[in-house]
Amino acid sequence: MIVERVYIAQNIGFTVYTFGKGAPRVLIVAGLHGDEVVGVATARILIDKLKNMTIRGTVKIIPIANELGLYIGSRANPIDGKDLNRVFPGNENGTVSERLAAKIWSLALESDYIIDLHGCGELCIPHILTLFISSDKSADLAKLIPIEYVVGSQAIRGQLFVEAAYVGKHAVLIEIPGTRSFRWSIAEDIAMRLLSFLASIGIVKRQSMEIKQKLFKGYVSIVSNYEGLLRRCVEPGAEVEQGMSIAEVEGEKIVAPVSGFVVMVTESKFVRIGDSIARIATEPLQ
């Protein structure tokens, strides 16, 4: 294992853990959003497991991409206020976030597979975001990772996996239950699924997991039109029909605009107009 610090300025940068050498080459990134600690925990568990394994190929892991954001529990970088996962491929002469993105992007361009780890909140189910377009390898990568739900992304530009997919890389984003707080058992489970992926492409020797995936063309994000205390009416993983009540805010019903599976729903709390309420995966592909 090689541990390397990459700096863009004095005391600002990230650490890269490298295992093995040669092809295939995998890059796993966590902590692009500083308030999503569950991805950081998953990456660190994976690092600990790889230390004692024979590697045939290269695995590079960046467990904390946005260190300054992590330190203060902020999604964005506190220096320039930018979302690091919206500025790829970055700019070597730009702001702090843009320079960090440029360094990470250079590693992505050297890689065959890119996996970005994120937290989707306490009330969500693990799922892969991918791109279902004919010229893209993202969906092929998703099939190799044994996570049940695979959902088409809205392909917001500036995201690491989206930009990587558009330049012909195998790239996906994995949403993991948890954010600043998380369960170690979930992080451990996702790390084991990543090991299964590494086994499927010949990087490590172990038995690969086999699951039947549920593919969805896309998802619909639901936001609150009201301000007040939210009462949740559904659980993550629930199947809902269009028009079904999924939450109430001060007695006002929020209904599902489409039929599908709830992959994320917010906890009961005070919400404002425009706050995210739920994410529903729609249009099953198989």
pLDDT digits 0-9 by tens, 257-275:
999 999 999 998 999 999 9
Q: Compute the CA torsion angle 82, 73, 193, 260 (nearest 10 deg).
A: -70
Q: Which is nearest to 203 in space by CA: 46, 64, 65?
A: 46
User: Right CATH number for 217-284 from 2.40.50.100, 3.30.565.10, 3.40.50.2020, 2.130.10.10?
Assistant: 2.40.50.100
What is the C-alpha separation between 54 and 62, in angstroms, rounded?
20
Q: Six-digit token pair at 259? A: 């039929």
What pLDDT, on the 0 to 100 scale, is given for residue 222? 95
- Is the per-residue pLDDT at 206 higher than 90? no
- Is the per-residue pLDDT at 134 higher than 60? no
What is the C-alpha separation between 122 and 177, in angstroms, rounded?
5
Can you tell me whether residue 120 is helix, strand or coil? Answer: coil
Report the relative pairing of strands 239-240 and 252-255 from DSSP bridges: unpaired
Per residue in 177-202, pLDDT (tens digit) is: 998 889 999 999 999 999 999 999 99
Query: Domain locations in the chain?
Result: 2-200, 217-284
- Is the per-residue pLDDT at 218 higher than 60? yes
Q: Is-contact 143 215, C-beta < 8 A?
A: no
Per residue in 6-19, pLDDT (tens digit) is: 999 989 999 999 99
Please state the pTM of the whole predicted model: 0.96
Same fold, 2-200 and 217-284: no
Region 204-228: mean pLDDT is 93
What is the C-alpha separation between 6 and 195, in angstroms, rounded?
25
Dihedrals phi, psi of 137, to nearest 5 degrees: -100, 0
Q: Six-digit token pair at 275? A: 């706050």
Per residue in 39-76, pLDDT (tens digit) is: 999 999 999 999 999 999 999 999 999 999 999 999 99
Which CATH architecture does the domain made up of 2-200 adopt? 3-Layer(aba) Sandwich (3.40)
Can you tell me whether residue 284 is helix, strand or coil? Answer: strand
What pLDDT, on the 0 to 100 scale, is given for residue 122? 85
